[in-house]
Amino acid sequence: MSGLVFNKTLKKLTWGAEHYKAITGGFGLGPLPDGDYEVKTRNVVAGSHLASGFENTLTGNKWFIPIVPTFPESRNGFGIHPDGNVPGTKGCIGLQSSDAGSFWRRWLNTTLSARPTQITVRS
Integer CA distances (angstroms), 81 to 15, 67, 72, 91, 101, in order:
15, 11, 23, 11, 10
Domains and CATH numbers, the chain: 4-114 (2.40.440)
- Residues 67, 111, 95: CA angle, nearest 5 degrees: 40
CA distance 97 to 41: 22
First-to-last CA distance in the chain? Answer: 24
pLDDT digits (tens, 9 = 90+) for 72-100: 999 999 999 999 988 899 999 999 988 99
- What pTM did the predictor assign? 0.96
pLDDT digits (tens, 9 = 90+) for 34-43: 999 999 999 9
Number of Cβ within 10 Å of residue 92's Cβ equals: 27
Which among 45, 10, 9, 14 has a CA at the least distance from the CA of 118? 14
